[in-house]
Amino acid sequence: MSFTLPVGLQFGSTTLQTMALLDSGATSYFMDITFCRTPCILVFRNTIPIPVEVIDGRSLSSGAIKEATIPLILRVGCHQEEAIFNLIASPRHPIILRLS
Q: Is residue 80 part of a domain?
A: no
The predicted structure's pLDDT at residue 59: 64
Q: Is residue 76 part of a domain?
A: no
79: amino acid identity, one letter? H
Q: Which residue numbers in the chain have pLDDT < 50?
A: none
The predicted structure's pLDDT at residue 61: 66
Q: Is residue 61 part of a domain?
A: yes
Q: Is residue 85 part of a domain?
A: no
Q: Is residue 94 part of a domain?
A: no
CA–chain centroid gap for 33, Å, is 9
Domain interval for residue 41:
20-70
14: amino acid identity, one letter? T
Q: Is residue 89 part of a domain?
A: no
| Distance separating alpha carbons of residues 80 and 49, to the nearest angstrom | 28
Q: Is residue 13 part of a domain?
A: no
The total number of structural domains that make up the chain:
1
